Structure 1
């Protein structure tokens, strides 16, 4: 059953009870990564294997996301600074125990391309928070694999 989460802002990324931060260097430019994150929402399932369906809503101000296994998110984009940051808050989900969630993607140009940093900022029941901490390694692998696939997809030498 879907339930509404607490409304939080971008500052929640720094204050959440549980913050999981992952980073990876990619060869793609910040412009290309940002386009894939913010403008090609429907393309997420092609590079982020946990996502089975994704679509932009409200002219890009929101997103509907479905994960493999059936978890659903209705989200509001709370930061969209081209080539720098893309963040969204989950407003409604069927995930039990979750009370608030913001995901932030930060992009920093470096010598060889882009440093991509993904922060998962969450609050929930004690059992949810424990499960999230225990699941950190799995989320880290999902991020690493997704960003690697995204980088390959954005590479000028990647097959169409």
Structure 2
């Protein structure tokens, strides 16, 4: 990109340094060099041999070529500016794309964490339910002492606290 900005400056410098001697190719294929108002052909001064019309034609051809080069340079600069704008737009779009991808990734992670928390909550509830069924069976059969019943109640309290923690985690992920 730096080259595209430096190139026009270099070309203008070259044109200015060469302005003392411009080459002109005429339609008949003759090549003239124009230096400080003098005309040269094959290194020889032919200014005196040329008619004023030929001199005018050479100058016109030279001016047309210089004007065409100037217009081409302006178009090139305009295209470079447009290309810079397009590149900046592409960079912005890429940054937005990256931000969207990061956002999507975070959402997917959050969804996965929510699903894990839901599964943990369901497992804890199922475990509590199974333990309560086992407790009730043992109680109906009369196989629980008062000390055993205290142990079971402490287990239930611990499991209910665990369920409450999973509930809190699950709710916080919404």
> TM-score when scaled to structure 2?
0.24
Select the structure that is richer in strand: 1
Larger RCO (CA within 8 A; separation ≥ 6): 1
Larger Rg: 2
- In the superposition, the TM-score normalised over structure 1's length comes to 0.26
